[in-house]
Amino acid sequence: MNLHTDLSFVALVMQASVIVQAVLALLVGLSLWSWWQIFLKLFQLKRATQDTDAFEDAFWKGGDLNALYQSASQSRAAGTMEHIFTAGFREYAKHRKQGSNAAVTMDSARRAMRAAYQREIDTLEAHLAGLATVGSVSPYIGLFGTVWGIMNAFRGLANVSQATLANVAPGIAEALIATAIGLFAAIPAVVAYNRYTHDVDRLAVRCETFIEEFSNILQRQG
C-alpha cells in the first residue's frame, strides 16, 4: 500500500477547503496590493525629498523671490515645498498689490501656506492607512483560515477508526499555510508603514520650519 502523501505547497493549497482557499486568495490579494503601494510610496517619498532638497538649496541662495516664484509656478514637476512657497508668495503679492495692511497680508499668506502644506501632507500620507490595515488584519485573517482548516482536519478523523499523524498531518499543514501567508502579507506592510510615516513626519517638520522662516522673510520685506 502506498502511504505517501503529497505535502507540496501547491498540492496542499489545491486540496484545501473552499474557505481556506478563499482566505489564501484574499491574503495574496492584500499582499500584492501592499507591495504595489510600498513601491509607489517609495518612489513618491524619494522624489519629494529630492525636490525639497533642491528647492531649499535654490531658496537659501538668496536670489530674487519673484524670479524663484516664476520658476516654481511654471514648473510642471513642482515639489512639496515649492507648492507651499508659491501659495504663500502668490497671496502675499496679491495683497501687496491691493494695498492691504501688513497684518492682513501676513495672515493671508500664512493661511495660504498652511492650506497648501495640509494638501501636500495629505497626498504624501495617502494609502498609509491601508498599509497599516493590511499589517494589522492579515495575521488574524490567516489565523481564521488556520482554525478553519484544523477544524476540518479533526472533523475528518471522525470517520477514521484509528487516528494517526499521517491522517491529520495534511489537514494541519494546509491550515498552517494560511498563517504563513498572513504573516507574509503583514510584515512588509508594517515595516513600510513605520518607515514611510517617519519619512512623512520628517518632511512635515521641514515644511513647517520653512513656513515660519519664509513668513519672517515676508514680514521683513513688508
For residue 7, the model assigns a pLDDT of 57
For residue 159, the model assigns a pLDDT of 65
Choose among 105, 148, 121, 129: nearest CA to 192.
129
Choose among 123, 127, 88: nearest CA to 108.
88
Length of the chain counted residue by residue: 222
For residue 220, the model assigns a pLDDT of 82
User: 128-153: per-residue pLDDT in tens?
Assistant: 999 999 999 999 999 998 888 888 77
Q: How far apart are the first and last CA of the chain?
A: 95
pTM recorded for the entire structure: 0.83
For residue 207, the model assigns a pLDDT of 94
> How far apart (Å, rounded) are the C-alpha atoms in residues 142 and 114?
43
Cα distances from 84 to residues 71, 109, 192, in angstroms, run: 14, 10, 27
Maximum distance among all Cα pairs of the chain, rounded to whole angstroms: 98
Q: Where are the domains of the chain?
A: 29-63+121-221
As a whole number, mean pLDDT of residues 76-97 equals 87
Choose among 179, 168, 177: nearest CA to 16.
177
For residue 6, the model assigns a pLDDT of 55
Note the Cα 198 to chain centre separation in Å: 11
User: 8-60: per-residue pLDDT in tens?
Assistant: 657 667 777 788 888 889 999 999 999 999 999 999 999 999 999 999 998 88
> How far apart (Å, rounded) are the C-alpha atoms in residues 182 and 30?
9
Q: How confident is the model at residue 4 (pLDDT cuts 50, 70, 90)?
A: very low
For residue 1, the model assigns a pLDDT of 36
For residue 33, the model assigns a pLDDT of 96
Residue 49 C-alpha cell reads as 525629498
Residue 96 vs residue 75, higher pLDDT: 96
User: 149-189: per-residue pLDDT in tens?
Assistant: 888 777 766 666 665 666 666 677 777 888 899 999 999 99
Instruction: Determine phi and psi for 131, rounding to 5 degrees.
Output: -65, -40
Q: How confident is the model at residue 122 (pLDDT cuts 50, 70, 90)?
A: very high
Residues in Cβ contact with 157 at an 8 Å cutoff, skipping those fewer than 6 apart: 163, 167, 168
3-state secondary structure 38-59: HHHHHHHHHHHHHHHHHHHHHH
For residue 2, the model assigns a pLDDT of 40
Helix axes 128-156, 18-59, angle to 10 degrees: 160
Helix axes 65-74, 18-59, angle to 10 degrees: 150
Q: How confident is the model at residue 221 (pLDDT cuts 50, 70, 90)?
A: confident
Residue 16 vs residue 199, higher pLDDT: 199
Contact present, 162 and 47 (Cβ < 8 Å): no
For residue 53, the model assigns a pLDDT of 92
Q: Is the pLDDT of residue 104 over 70?
A: yes
